[in-house]
Structure 1
Amino acid sequence: TSPAGHYNTTVFLSDGSEDVLKAQIETAAIVGQKYFIIPALPTNVRQSGTLDDYKRMAVKFNRAAELCKAHGLKLAYHNHNFEFKDQGSGATGYQILLKETDPAMVSFELDLFWAVNAGLDPVQMFKENPGRFKMWHVKDMDKADKSVYTEVGTGVIPFKSIFAEAKLSGMEYLFIEQDVIKIDAYKSISESINYVKHTLLNQ
């Protein structure tokens, strides 16, 4: 069983209805997962969310975390790049989610590609919020076009320095992924896995 799963929590995040959320949490517990992950925010928040919208999301994250705890699960949030949009004076929605969620209850699954794509330094994120990034999504960014995914180790993301700070991050699990591939799928994932296993985890 995967230690974590992504669940569509749009209804709960939009109107607060807990019925579907509770059923999803029960399912995650039954199959033996450890982390229940919110994979995205509602469309309106993704497209035009204000800092107040993110504060409301943080409140709901805390509530969902309470429900997860009752079933022996932990809550985490998976980012894209829209959360890092400057909302004025450098403030971002992601900062709100970090600040206004309970560190003991809410963790983060940091998608390294999207964080770097948005101009952030993952290591600096670890220093500012140590221990909160329990999981990583590991995929690389093309050298010529930062919107293009590529096999881990062939792009521009500084994985060696990031992996060197895994303990500071609090990382327990990492997931290698690549949304779009240009070569054979098995060759692609093999290249990425081999680089992570033999280069990054052995440094």
Structure 2
Amino acid sequence: MTTRRRFLQLSAATAAATATAAMPRAFAGPGQKIPTLTYGVQLYMLRKQAATDLPGVFRAIHDAGFAQVELYPIAYREPAQHLRTLIADSGLQPSVSGHFDYLGLEAKLDYAHTLGLKYFVCPMIPKDQWETLAGFKKAADFFNKIGQGAKDRGMEFTFHNHCYEFKPLDGTTGWNVLMKETDPALVKLELDCYWLTQGGQNPMSILRDHKDRAVLLHLKDRIANSPVSFDMGTPQHFTELGKGNIDWPGILAQGYKQGIRYAFLDQDGTTIPIPESMKISADYLHSL
């Protein structure tokens, strides 16, 4: 377990290594094989540390070599303007995206707008709606409503997938219901490539099939030969970028071609200290 002191020590070591390497914040560089996206980290990856040291977490993300933090509800205890200041003071760019709980979406629209977010993201629908097509239809109707509210405030409402959406249900899937019943002009997609793969999907195919919706990417690698599963509770197979079997050069290049400009590291669990894990993934992205 990483203590707060150890976390800060590791963050300082990561900062020193990053400064030595002089890593550009958007990973631009001569000879790059893929176009430049702007990369960030989803705050959920550091949720335990963020509960007690939000400014330190923002600095750790910056020091690992990332330009953005994608916000998560633990940060919203801060007034919007103060949160913007904390992000700026860390050296990060103003956040463009944030995750908000399904049940609090409508109440957080104005807060997200004050934060200056472009993407207003719902990361998951309630578990009691996963098991029936009617549950997904209910979510779709709600998403259309929230999507209009976001659009009225100059934002794009965006849904983040997991694997449960691809579980067969009565000859179809919850994913198909969501795609059929939501308005592409109001409901966009943040494609999590790990969870797509766990759900038996090809991230590249999903990306191409939803050119009109895909606006963000989530990045974490998946250990080779891990089984397909629709169960969020089973042991997961997360690993740092470049250490698994997901085709990141192809996905990132295709995403850029389709107009995606932001992608966020979101490794839910690590077997090494989080600052080290972030640095490994940042270095991999920098190498592309």
For Structure 1 versus Structure 2, the TM-score category normalised by the shorter chain is 0.7 to 0.9
Match of 1:70 in 2: 152
| Counterparts of 1:145 and 1:128, CA distance in 2 | 25
| Highest RCO, 1 vs 2 (Cα 8 Å, sep ≥ 6) | 2
1:130-154 deviations in whole A, cap 9, x for unaligned?
2311111100011254521100000
| Counterparts of 2:111 and 2:213, CA distance in 1 | 25
Question: Is 1:176–2:265 an aligned residue pair?
Answer: yes
Match of residue 189, structure 2, among 108, 112, 125: 108
SS at match of 1:135: strand
Structure 1 residue 122: deviation in Å?
1.2
Match of residue 173, structure 2, among 67, 92, 105: 92
Structure 1 residue 156: deviation in Å?
1.2
Structure 1 residue 27: deviation in Å?
0.4
1:19-71 deviations in whole A, cap 9, x for unaligned?
x544301000001111111111112013x2x2222122111100001111121
Q: Which structure is larger by alpha-carbon Rg, 1 or 2?
A: 2
Match of 1:32 in 2: 116
| TM-score calculated relative to the size of structure 2 | 0.61
Contact 1:84 1:92 (8 Å CA) reproduced: yes
1:85-125 deviations in whole A, cap 9, x for unaligned?
11143x21112212221111110111110000111001111
Match of 1:193 in 2: 282
SS at match of 1:165: helix
Match of 1:60 in 2: 142
Amino acid at match of 2:191: L
| TM-score calculated relative to the size of structure 1 | 0.85
Amino acid at match of 1:4: S
Match of residue 131, structure 1, among 207, 212, 217: 212
Runs of 4+ in structure 1 over 4 Å off: none
Match of residue 3, structure 1, among 96, 101, 115: 96
Gaps of 5+ in 1: 11-19
Amino acid at match of 2:119: Y
Contact 1:131 1:168 (8 Å CA) reproduced: no
Match of 1:17 in 2: none
Gaps of 5+ in 2: 1-93, 228-235
Structure 1 residue 169: deviation in Å?
4.7
| Percentage of matched positions with identical amino acids | 33
Match of residue 159, structure 1, among 248, 255, 266: 248
Structure 1 residue 168: deviation in Å?
5.3
| Counterparts of 2:258 and 2:193, CA distance in 1 | 12
Match of 1:45 in 2: 129
